[in-house]
Structure 1
Amino acid sequence: MKKTKIILLGMAALALMVTPLASNALSGTNADDVEVRIFTKQGGEWFKVKTKKADFRGVLIAKNVLPGKYKVEVADEDVTTPQTLAGEFKMLDSEGRRIDHKTDVDVYMYISGVKTLIVTYETDADGWLDLPSMTPGASYYFDVKEESDLGSKEGKIRIKVKSKIEGSDWYQSLYSRTDENGVLRIKDVSSGKYKFKYKSGDADPAQPFILQLRMLKNNGKRIKDKTDVELFVYMNKVRVKVADLETNADGWLTLPGVMTGMKYKLKVKD
């Protein structure tokens, strides 16, 4: 059973958030199949990173969640009272690396604008974090307490990915490996700017790699039909359009010849 350390308790409104579930079964309240918009805060501005539905239990499932400040909002047509969501989040560490062992995560809630530590949960060995209750519209902060180690593997290149989505600063969004064929796959990619850097010693910086991306619509929803995407590169700080591309029906896009040290922009034309 997952470890739960209660750090601060004394407000009835937080009781669900900090009380372990006896059956370890998550469920929301009046939240089954509701549409949820996920926001994060970068550079002092909130921006939407994804839109997806909670499952039949009222549980919001999200992968590749970086430490930071988040809030969730339920679509107007799905709002009811009372209403809470549960969460299953696959966490990354602060460098964007996947978590491969049980790790403590401090969960803060902003109460009257004050960042307040309410509980520490432990992920499972694959980095999954269970949250029994989240209040739509409230702001939370997740702090992963231990860094993961992305060790070298023969024939695979470690790559740091930095992103700049509309309204955000540059931030490290992922640290992962290519496969043996030099292909880096990234899911749920928003329109925005991206740049890449090899782990020192893994590859010659002049060596290109192949990027496979599953793009999202500009409203954060999954792409379910072939969709046009514009590709730009920045040359001497000037943005130059280099290609009009098309995803497959599942939103996947392949970019050959991607270079580190270059800045790219992807724009979904939905």
Structure 2
Amino acid sequence: MNKTKIILPLLVFIALAPSACLARLNGEKADDVKVKLYFKHAPEWKDYIKVLEQKTDSDGVLKAKNALEGWYKVEIAKDDQVSGQSIAVKLKVLTEKGQYTKDAKVKLYTKVGDTKYFIKEVSTDEKGYMTSEGLLSGHEYYIEVNAKKDELSNFSKEATQPRIKARAKKIGENKKGDKWLQGLFTQTDENKILNVGKIQEGFYKFELKHGDVLPQGFFNIKAQILDTEAKEIKEPTTLKFYAFPKNVRTFVGEITTAKDGSILLPKILPDMIYRFFIKK
């Protein structure tokens, strides 16, 4: 992935409404600005977690993959803020179960006080991306994905590759009874590689879809590691990697990313809990 929630509800709606004269996706006064994106999966979460910090492109568009259904808060860096500013987004969204979509309906909401207000409905494209303009710094937005069975991309009973469900927890939250966050749920590629996109240090576990088979009993993960501030890594970075067979913490080894943070994690077992963190 490359450059991979006040105001009255009526005014917010106007700001986010689609414009017939804009054939191209654009932000307003938001070219190449630094944006922090925060996520909260459910109302019972007390705090947002920062999931991404990166710049918009030259059109003021923030692009990201694997955007789960839930609440998001947008913050433009203080040094980049100007009057009348808004960003556009192009997000590859996931359903509540972590599945990609195609031509599915996505509802966008905002919050004023404790009340959620509907803004508009858009559709994902053939690759599962939704777009929207006019998102304001400091505002909260809710993404609701409504996909029928025939609108799930590359995911069916006739799937040609093993299907893997990924779940995650932040470091410091691996206490008994804590809920795992539903993540990506999709197929591996023909080389049994699961591309999970950009991820942060934490706890992860992977479940094989019932009835699917991993011929060798394992799969590999391709990822781009973000640092502890959810920023892209700019130099080779060493990670410490652990597994938890029968809930026993076991050191697996150290592995170093490429300069851009990309990494291939080999021989990942389904139903095993893993943890990685950046070596200090």
Partner SS, residue 48 of structure 2:
strand
Query: For 1:215-226, what aligned pairs fall within 5 Å after superposition?
Result: 215-226=225-236
Q: Count residues with an aligned counterpart.
A: 260
Q: CA deviation at 1:18?
A: 2.0
Query: For 1:95-244, what aligned pairs fall within 5 Å after superposition?
Result: 95-99=97-101, 101-147=102-148, 148-149=151-152, 150-151=155-156, 152-154=158-160, 156-166=161-171, 169-203=179-213, 207-244=217-254
Within the candidate set 51, 63, 70, 1:68 is matched to: 70
Question: Is the CA contact 1:20–1:132 (under 8 Å) kept in the aligned structure 2?
Answer: no
Deviations 1:90-142 (A, max 9, x none): 1122211111x311111110012211112111222222211121011111101
Gapped regions of structure 2 (runs ≥ 5): 1-7, 174-178
Q: CA deviation at 1:24?
A: 2.5
Q: CA deviation at 1:204?
A: 5.6
Residues 145 and 206 of structure 1: CA distance in aligned 2, closer, same or farther (over 3 Å): same
Residues 205 and 166 of structure 1: CA distance in aligned 2, closer, same or farther (over 3 Å): farther
In structure 1, give the amino acid aligned to 2:23. N
Gapped regions of structure 1 (runs ≥ 5): 1-8
Deviations 1:246-269 (A, max 9, x none): 011221222222111110011123
Question: Is the CA contact 1:26–1:132 (under 8 Å) kept in the aligned structure 2?
Answer: yes
Within 1, Cα distance between the matches of 2:76 and 2:245? 41
Larger fraction in strand = 1
**Identity percentage over the alignment?**
31
Within 2, Cα distance between the matches of 1:153 and 1:13? 41
Within 1, Cα distance between the matches of 2:55 and 2:226? 14
Other-structure match for 2:51: 49
Question: Is the CA contact 2:65–2:197 (under 8 Å) kept in the aligned structure 1?
Answer: no
Q: CA deviation at 1:206?
A: 8.4
Question: Is the CA contact 1:227–1:268 (under 8 Å) kept in the aligned structure 2?
Answer: yes
Partner SS, residue 218 of structure 1:
coil
Within 1, Cα distance between the matches of 2:53 and 2:13? 25
In structure 1, give the amino acid aligned to 2:106. V
Deviations 1:153-185 (A, max 9, x none): 33x211001111247741211011112222222
TM-score relative to the length of structure 1: 0.88
Within 1, Cα distance between the matches of 2:197 and 2:167? 14
Partner SS, residue 23 of structure 1:
coil
Within 2, Cα distance between the matches of 1:23 and 1:177? 36
Within 2, Cα distance between the matches of 1:21 and 1:114? 29
Residues 120 and 160 of structure 1: CA distance in aligned 2, closer, same or farther (over 3 Å): same
Residues 187 and 204 of structure 1: CA distance in aligned 2, closer, same or farther (over 3 Å): closer
Within 2, Cα distance between the matches of 1:12 and 1:236? 54
Other-structure match for 1:58: 60
Question: Is the CA contact 2:9–2:117 (under 8 Å) kept in the aligned structure 1?
Answer: no
Other-structure match for 1:34: 33
Within 1, Cα distance between the matches of 2:221 and 2:116? 38
Within 2, Cα distance between the matches of 1:236 and 1:74? 44
Within 2, Cα distance between the matches of 1:203 and 1:50? 34
Other-structure match for 2:4: none
Within 1, Cα distance between the matches of 2:100 and 2:60? 25
Within 2, Cα distance between the matches of 1:230 and 1:21? 51
TM-score relative to the length of structure 2: 0.86
Other-structure match for 2:3: none
User: Which consecutive aligned stretches of 4+ in structure 1 deviate over 4 angstroms post-superposition?
Assistant: 166-169
Q: CA deviation at 1:68?
A: 0.7
In structure 1, give the amino acid aligned to 2:56. A
Residues 194 and 205 of structure 1: CA distance in aligned 2, closer, same or farther (over 3 Å): farther
In structure 1, give the amino acid aligned to 2:168. S
